[in-house]
Amino acid sequence: ELGLLRFVADKTGRFSMRCSATCANFHPYMYAWLRVKPNTRFYVSVVLAFLLGGFFLYYFSKEKNRDLILGLMPIKWRFELTRYPIIRSILKNRWPRYLAIIFSTFFFTVILVSCYVGGVSAGNFNFGIMFVWIVWFVFLIMIWVPFFSRIFCCVCPLPFFGLWLQRCSLIKVKKKTYGLNKKFPKALSNLWMVNFLFMGVTFFNGFLTTLPIASFIMFAIIILAATIITFVFEKRTFCRYVCPVGGFQGLYSNAATIEIRSKDTEVCNRIKPGKDFSFDNGIAACRLACPAGVDSSSYIALIAKGEYERALEIIRETMPFPGVCGRICTAPCEVECIRTQVDQPISIRALKRFVSDFIGYNNQKSDNKFVPVHSEKIAVIGSGPAGLTCAYYLVRNGYAVTVYESLPVIGGMLKVGIPDYKLPKDVLDKEIEFIRNTGVEFVTNTTVGKDISFDDLRKKYQAIFIAVGASESRRLKIEGENLQGVYNAIDILRRANLGEKLQIGKKIVVIGGGDTAIDVARVSLRKGADEVTIVYRRSRNEMPAIPKEVSAAEEEGVEIQFLTSPLQVVGSNSKANSLLCIKMRLAEPDELGRPKPVPIKGSEHLITADTIIVATGQYSDINFLPPELSISGAGTTIVDPETMVTNIPGVFSGGDVVRGPNVFVQAVVQGRKASVSIEKYLRGEKLEPVSLYPTTRQVDDLPLHSISHKDRIEPAFIPLEDRKRNFREIESVFNEKMALEESQRCLGCGSCGNCYLGNEDGYGCPWLELPFRMRRNTYCGMCLECFKTCPHDNMAVNIRPPVVDVLIDDKRSMDEAWKSFIMLGCAVVFYVFMMGPWGFLKDWQRAKTFSGLPKYIATSGISTLVILPAIYGIFVFISRWINKIKRISYKKLFLNYSYSLVPLGLFTWIAFCFGFLLPSGSYVIAVISDPFAWGWDLFGTAEFPWTPFLTYWMPYLQTISLLFGLVFSIDIGLKISRQMFINKKQAVINFLPIAGFIVLWVITMLWLFLW
């Protein structure tokens, strides 16, 4: 008996404690098989440690306690290391990395040579095996990964030399590729291959410890694959998809306490892929001009590269209607386009329409439904652009949304207020179908206030968004307005869009000067009118309609009489036959700043007409709203313009019902703002102003003198005579060649790209990721090239809380989550089938001659890939069954809760490593001292006096490690559950079965370790 441990031999005779404690169960010269048995004092210590850990877990779950403790720490949880000049100067230089790479290159060489030509060293370990067990499994896990993330990838010589030759080259040929530049197969861009390779290397290195050639072959295959990938596939390091070390680190680097992040992502804006130059690190003028903040320069750059799907994804991040926006948007981005200082603006709107038509509807996804993960439900009143936008982004964030529409069709004024020649119905229908497929529920033919009351909605839903369109026409309030032949424009457009029969005359007068007046005038021509006249009381400069639309109407034959105001509708036999008007002149500006029209006496005149259409304004029907909701004098809802919240908690409003009739994109903006505010409201957070686009400075100081002139490519129009008598879309879409040529004209304003592409001082990100957009350590190789090449000092190296990346839920994937099962399964396999007392590999000679290999492989693989995930799956099923959750799929629960096992897997492996690192100290020194096994004989050397001391503490360290895994996993699991369930009680109850699995795992591993 030695302290808290006692050593029990199952054979009589002389034995070496050090040798037996390390590999007694399969050592060829063992004298006895040894077991380390803790005594009663140890078990009492374990119980007390777990109780203490549970107390700390509960204590730190309280926000105030966490802040109290962390506030006393000299270094805060999110602390920028690079603020100190000495650290900055070290990290800015490349010589530390060069030295590390030189060392690692030498180390790799020794590994390969020792595996191939070296004998079997002390304790049947050669240098290659020792590298795998001690350097890889121990130091990478216990030192590098938990603290320094993927820094091993940073000093790996394989990607470094490959990129040096390929991207920047030894002869300084900038961005030249020496490989074939092939596309890396999409099917292999995941971690499944890495997962299987990790299992293979782990199992086989543990099994074939007396066969150095096996280690050599495995290392050689990895190196060869990395080399081929580097020189064949593009200008990027793809070795992470074949390297077991990189694959392992990719997941567990999320637990690291160090990270490289941008200080302000909006300073960088978006990198423009494909641009090999940089102007200034501002925000592109086109994006600042867009009310919705659509990142035009990014999707145009992707169009130039032919990456149309990614371009469409970028558009949909801020605009759910790319096809609609590509047709009816007023395109303020083109007005501000910097290219106008050279020649003509980029055809931004036409390019948006191209990518939408080319990709968006040819490849409609049927499986893009978002399953609600939150218990709260939201009602949206109105299916126009504001309502659909709000519903779309809320559903994407995991909420159940129901849209109520009074009409039999979805789309609001987009559907019934815009003619087909501008916006074909099939285009709108496909975009609505895309939104419907995400999970939005629609209820048509239902008028709120008539078929269902507003109070009923408030009882049924936790939040309401009022997005009623301006579907009612304002009256002229002049004599004769009620005669037959007088119509309102909204009614004419609605009936035309719904396919109803229209009875209009041949001579038509339209009163008004907005887009609705222009639209109804052009529709009248297409419905058979011979003459169409628009009367507007101000001049052309004050006309609110889009100038291009006004010009198009005049080209088609619409006459516009400016400075003309109606006085009376004249008729006979109750039917209108003319409109009495008076000429106007412009006087001093009114309260809105527009010149005030003043009648000119004696200028009255008649305009003959058999149909008069009034298009002088619209308003929203809000009679269904409760009296306590604040309404303005103009009949619009009063809201906070930054959050879209009304004076009633939980009730939000946006679109025409707030601003009155306005352009389509403004409704989209308010719908997005409302979606953000509603989510904050449901989470109990404070409502703050919502910013949809960057507010930093605009790009300036562009070297425009170096830009060559190139004519703008305009969309073609169908011939004038063909378009006047039908509703065919008058503007054609770009073909692919036109789109590529026009997108190449883009200057890439605001792009920097040094961290992405590199510059004369550095190589850029070796994985061609976007460093300033990284949110997780998974994709960061810690090479610091982004930090070195950033010209605006926007990248920082931070100390941060552990395991925080696991809580970021937008990049979770099953292949990555499965790594946790593999890590846990490998640990069990080693203990049960190799080190456990019942292990069938105790006979070293059987292992050496491959006897029992099929049994070992089958049992190990099935245990790791099938049995363990199946047991976990049962606990997930119990979790779903207990709570009767139908809105959250079993797959989603399985995936999300799998990430709570990441800390458990990490600390299980740390505990596992203690099991052979501490007693193996003698072997480590012996093998490193003699990597080629030329002279060392471990059994002829003296004992190292600290080996028994380390072995003495081994069970304690293993227990502490498992305790850390338990605490972190339960804490992370509760937070992940809170992400899926807003209700705290439901989140805790739903996580209880998973917590049971974690506790059961820890107890099982403790039992194995104590054996």
How, if at all, do strands 472-473 and 618-619 pair? antiparallel
> What pLDDT is attached to residue 323?
92
Helix (H, G, I), strand (E, B) or coil at 207: helix
> Which pLDDT value is given to residue 363?
53
What CA–CA distance (Å, rounded) separates 509 from 735? Answer: 39
Buried b or exposed e, range 276-286, using 16+ CB within 10 angstroms: eebbbbbbbbb
Per-residue pLDDT reduced to its tens digit, 126-141 = 555 555 555 555 665 5
Angle between helices 868-883 and 814-830 (to 10 degrees): 120
Domain 377-471+625-682 has CATH 3.50.50.60: yes
Indicate the CATH number of 265-364+698-753 among 1.10.1060, 3.40.50, 3.40.1000, 3.40.1710. Answer: 1.10.1060
Long-range interactions of 932-941: CB distance < 8 A, separation 24+: 932/113, 932/114, 932/117, 932/118, 932/119, 932/121, 932/127, 933/114, 933/118, 933/119, 933/120, 933/121, 933/122, 933/126, 934/119, 936/121, 936/122, 937/122, 938/122, 938/123, 939/16, 939/19, 939/29
Confidence at residue 640, expressed as pLDDT on a 0 to 100 scale: 93
Token digits for 451? 């078929």
Least confident segment among 116-120, 420-424, 507-511, 709-713 = 116-120
Best-predicted range by mean pLDDT among 225-239, 276-290, 660-674, 873-887? 660-674
Q: Is the pLDDT of residue 183 over 60?
A: yes
Task: Choose the weakest-confidence range: 408-412, 590-594, 858-862.
Answer: 858-862
Q: Is 222 within 8 Å of 248 (Cβ atoms)?
A: no
The confidence band for 949, taking pLDDT boundaries of 50, 70 and 90, is low
Q: What is the pLDDT of residue 293?
A: 86
pLDDT of 457 higher than 80? yes
Nearest to 521 by CA among 558, 491, 471, 485: 558
Residues 6+ apart with CB under 8 A from 799: 75, 77, 78, 79, 81, 257, 258
Poorest-confidence range of 356-360, 479-483, 617-621?
Answer: 356-360
**Mean pLDDT computed over 771-780:** 78
Predicted pLDDT of residue 193: 81
The segment(s) of the chain belonging to CATH 1.10.1060 are 265-364+698-753
More confident residue, 54 or 511: 511
pLDDT of 590 > 60? The answer is yes
- pLDDT tens string 783-827: 888 888 777 778 889 888 888 888 877 678 888 888 888 878 877
538 contacts 511 by C-beta, under 8 angstroms: no
Contacts of 512 (CB under 8 A, 6+ apart): 489, 534, 536, 614, 615, 616, 617
pLDDT at 573: 87
Q: Would you tell me which CATH number, out of the four given (2.40.50.140, 3.30.230.10, 3.50.50.60, 1.20.140.10), belongs to the domain 472-619?
A: 3.50.50.60
What is the rounded CA–CA span in Å between residue 342 and residue 709? Answer: 7
pLDDT for res 952: 61
Pick from 577, 578, 581: which is nearest to 564 by CA? 581
Q: Which two tokens stand for residue 846?
A: 């059987």
For residue 68, pLDDT beyond 50: no
Tell me: the pLDDT tens digits for 525-562? 988 899 999 999 999 988 989 888 999 999 999 999 99
- SS3 state at 570: strand
> Strand 34-38 relative to strand 377-381: parallel, antiparallel, unpaired?
unpaired
pLDDT in tens, 716-753: 888 888 887 788 888 889 999 999 999 988 887 766 66
Q: In Å, how far are 191, 807, 865, 912 from 829, measured between CA atoms?
A: 21, 29, 11, 11
Rounded-to-integer distance, Cα 825 and Cα 867, Å = 9
Percent of the chain with pLDDT over 90: 25
Which region among 43-57, 209-223, 832-846, 851-865 has the lowest average model confidence (pLDDT)? 832-846
pTM: 0.61
Helix H or strand E encompassing 796? strand 795-799
Across residues 577-588, what is the average pLDDT? 92
pLDDT band at residue 272 using 50, 70 and 90 as cut-offs: very low
Cα-Cα end-to-end distance for the chain: 16
Of 144-153, 385-394, 622-631, 690-699, which range is least confident?
690-699
Helix (H) or strand (E) holding 104: helix 95-117
Alpha-carbon separation of residue 766 from 177, 756, 770 (angstroms): 13, 8, 10
Query: In which band, very low, low, confident or very high, does the pLDDT at 278 lie, cut at 50, 70 and 90?
Result: very low
Is the distance from CB of 623 to CB of 449 less than 8 angstroms? Answer: yes
Coil vs helix vs strand at 536: coil
Higher pLDDT, 809 or 929: 809
**Stretch(es) of the chain classified as CATH 3.50.50.60:** 377-471+625-682, 472-619
Phi and psi (nearest 5°) for 101?
-70, -40
**Greater pLDDT, 253 or 425:** 425
Interatomic CA distance for residues 650 and 633, integer angstroms: 23
SS (H, E, C) 314-373: HHHHHCCCHHHHHHHCCCHHHHHCHHHHCCCCCCHHHHHHHHHHHHHCCCCCCCCCCCCC
- For residue 904, give both structure tokens: 């458990």
What is the distance, to the nearest Å, from the Cα of residue 853 to the centroid of all Cα atoms in its chain?
Answer: 44
> How sure is the predictor about 626, in pLDDT bands with cuts at 50, 70 and 90?
very high
Tens-place pLDDT, residues 70-129: 333 333 456 788 888 888 888 887 777 777 777 777 777 766 676 666 554 444 455 555
* pLDDT given for residue 24 in this prediction: 36
Three-state DSSP class for residue 128: helix
| Residues facing residue 389 across a β-bridge | none
Sign of the CA dihedral running 91, 93, 99, 105:
positive
- The type of residue at 894 is F
- Mean per-residue pLDDT over the chain, rounded: 76
Residue 65 pLDDT:
45
